[in-house]
Amino acid sequence: MSDNNIIRVKDVMTPEVKTIAGTATVADAVDLMRASGVSSIVIERRNEDDEFGMIVVSDIAAQVISKGRALDRVSVYEVMSKPVLSVPTDMNIKYAIRLLVQFSLSRALVVDEKRVPTGIVTLRDMVLRHSEHG
Protein backbone atom coordinates (compact mmCIF):
# COMPACT_ATOMS: atom_id res chain seq x y z
CA MET A 1 0.00 0.00 0.00
CA SER A 2 1.58 3.29 -1.06
CA ASP A 3 1.37 6.53 0.93
CA ASN A 4 -1.33 7.72 -1.48
CA ASN A 5 -3.58 4.87 -0.34
CA ILE A 6 -3.35 5.47 3.41
CA ILE A 7 -6.67 4.87 5.12
CA ARG A 8 -7.28 7.15 8.08
CA VAL A 9 -9.32 6.32 11.17
CA LYS A 10 -11.81 9.05 10.18
CA ASP A 11 -12.48 7.14 6.94
CA VAL A 12 -13.54 3.99 8.81
CA MET A 13 -15.03 5.18 12.12
CA THR A 14 -18.69 5.26 13.02
CA PRO A 15 -19.23 9.00 13.40
CA GLU A 16 -22.02 9.01 15.94
CA VAL A 17 -20.92 8.76 19.55
CA LYS A 18 -23.59 7.87 22.08
CA THR A 19 -22.78 9.09 25.58
CA ILE A 20 -24.19 8.56 29.05
CA ALA A 21 -23.33 9.75 32.56
CA GLY A 22 -21.42 7.37 34.79
CA THR A 23 -24.18 7.64 37.38
CA ALA A 24 -26.78 6.25 34.97
CA THR A 25 -27.92 2.68 35.51
CA VAL A 26 -26.91 -0.20 33.30
CA ALA A 27 -30.61 -0.48 32.39
CA ASP A 28 -30.41 3.09 31.03
CA ALA A 29 -27.32 2.14 29.03
CA VAL A 30 -29.03 -0.95 27.59
CA ASP A 31 -32.06 1.16 26.61
CA LEU A 32 -29.78 3.65 24.83
CA MET A 33 -27.90 0.83 23.06
CA ARG A 34 -31.17 -0.72 21.90
CA ALA A 35 -32.64 2.59 20.70
CA SER A 36 -29.43 3.61 18.92
CA GLY A 37 -28.46 0.24 17.47
CA VAL A 38 -24.98 0.39 19.03
CA SER A 39 -23.03 -2.03 21.20
CA SER A 40 -20.88 0.51 23.06
CA ILE A 41 -21.47 3.83 24.80
CA VAL A 42 -18.95 6.44 25.86
CA ILE A 43 -19.12 7.57 29.48
CA GLU A 44 -19.00 11.33 29.82
CA ARG A 45 -16.15 13.01 31.67
CA ARG A 46 -17.08 14.62 34.98
CA ASN A 47 -14.78 17.57 34.27
CA GLU A 48 -11.91 18.64 32.00
CA ASP A 49 -9.35 16.70 34.06
CA ASP A 50 -11.33 13.46 33.92
CA GLU A 51 -11.00 10.79 31.24
CA PHE A 52 -13.67 9.15 29.10
CA GLY A 53 -14.93 5.68 29.91
CA MET A 54 -16.77 3.11 27.80
CA ILE A 55 -19.32 0.41 28.42
CA VAL A 56 -19.72 -2.42 25.93
CA VAL A 57 -22.33 -5.17 25.65
CA SER A 58 -19.72 -7.73 26.75
CA ASP A 59 -19.10 -5.72 29.97
CA ILE A 60 -22.80 -5.92 30.78
CA ALA A 61 -22.92 -9.63 30.00
CA ALA A 62 -19.84 -10.49 32.07
CA GLN A 63 -20.21 -8.14 35.02
CA VAL A 64 -23.97 -7.81 35.43
CA ILE A 65 -26.14 -10.45 33.74
CA SER A 66 -23.87 -13.46 34.26
CA LYS A 67 -23.55 -12.56 37.95
CA GLY A 68 -27.31 -12.28 38.43
CA ARG A 69 -27.20 -8.54 39.18
CA ALA A 70 -30.20 -6.34 38.39
CA LEU A 71 -29.65 -3.95 35.46
CA ASP A 72 -31.53 -1.18 37.24
CA ARG A 73 -29.47 -1.51 40.44
CA VAL A 74 -25.98 -1.30 38.94
CA SER A 75 -24.45 2.02 37.90
CA VAL A 76 -22.56 2.36 34.64
CA TYR A 77 -19.42 3.47 36.52
CA GLU A 78 -19.30 0.08 38.27
CA VAL A 79 -18.79 -1.85 35.02
CA MET A 80 -17.27 0.62 32.55
CA SER A 81 -13.69 0.57 31.33
CA LYS A 82 -11.81 3.74 32.17
CA PRO A 83 -9.70 5.31 30.85
CA VAL A 84 -10.64 4.31 27.35
CA LEU A 85 -8.09 4.06 24.57
CA SER A 86 -8.49 6.96 22.17
CA VAL A 87 -6.97 7.51 18.75
CA PRO A 88 -6.78 10.65 16.61
CA THR A 89 -8.99 11.01 13.53
CA ASP A 90 -6.00 11.24 11.18
CA MET A 91 -4.16 8.12 12.41
CA ASN A 92 -3.33 5.52 9.76
CA ILE A 93 -5.54 2.49 10.44
CA LYS A 94 -2.57 0.11 10.31
CA TYR A 95 -1.24 1.78 13.46
CA ALA A 96 -4.66 1.91 15.08
CA ILE A 97 -5.01 -1.84 14.41
CA ARG A 98 -1.61 -2.48 16.02
CA LEU A 99 -2.58 -0.42 19.06
CA LEU A 100 -5.87 -2.25 19.58
CA VAL A 101 -4.22 -5.64 19.12
CA GLN A 102 -1.45 -4.72 21.57
CA PHE A 103 -4.03 -4.04 24.27
CA SER A 104 -6.46 -6.83 23.25
CA LEU A 105 -9.25 -4.33 22.56
CA SER A 106 -12.02 -4.47 20.00
CA ARG A 107 -12.66 -0.72 19.68
CA ALA A 108 -11.33 2.73 20.44
CA LEU A 109 -12.75 6.18 20.93
CA VAL A 110 -11.85 8.57 18.10
CA VAL A 111 -11.06 12.12 19.19
CA ASP A 112 -10.20 15.36 17.44
CA GLU A 113 -7.24 17.61 18.30
CA LYS A 114 -9.20 19.07 21.24
CA ARG A 115 -10.02 15.57 22.62
CA VAL A 116 -13.66 15.90 21.63
CA PRO A 117 -15.16 12.49 20.74
CA THR A 118 -15.93 12.27 17.03
CA GLY A 119 -16.53 8.55 16.58
CA ILE A 120 -15.88 4.94 17.48
CA VAL A 121 -13.60 2.71 15.46
CA THR A 122 -13.66 -1.06 15.70
CA LEU A 123 -11.01 -3.59 14.90
CA ARG A 124 -13.52 -5.37 12.68
CA ASP A 125 -14.21 -2.30 10.54
CA MET A 126 -10.52 -1.46 10.16
CA VAL A 127 -9.49 -5.01 9.23
CA LEU A 128 -12.26 -5.35 6.66
CA ARG A 129 -11.45 -1.95 5.14
CA HIS A 130 -7.69 -2.63 5.12
CA SER A 131 -8.20 -5.95 3.37
CA GLU A 132 -10.03 -4.19 0.52
CA HIS A 133 -6.83 -2.31 -0.30
CA GLY A 134 -4.24 -4.85 0.74
**Residue 53: pLDDT above 80?**
yes
Residue 43 has pLDDT above 50, yes or no: yes
Q: What is the mean pLDDT of residues 112-118?
A: 93
Round to the nearest angstrom and report the end-to-end CA distance of the chain: 6
Reply yes or no on whether the pLDDT at 67 is more than 80: yes
Mean predicted lDDT score pLDDT of the chain = 93
Question: CA–CA separation, 2 vs 62, rounded Å?
Answer: 42
Whether omega for the bond prior to residue 15 falls within 30 degrees of 0, making it cis, is no
Q: In this predicted model, which residue has the larger pLDDT, 130 or 81?
A: 81
Structural domains in the chain plus CATH codes: 3-133 (3.10.580.10)
Q: What is the mean pLDDT of residues 111-132?
A: 92
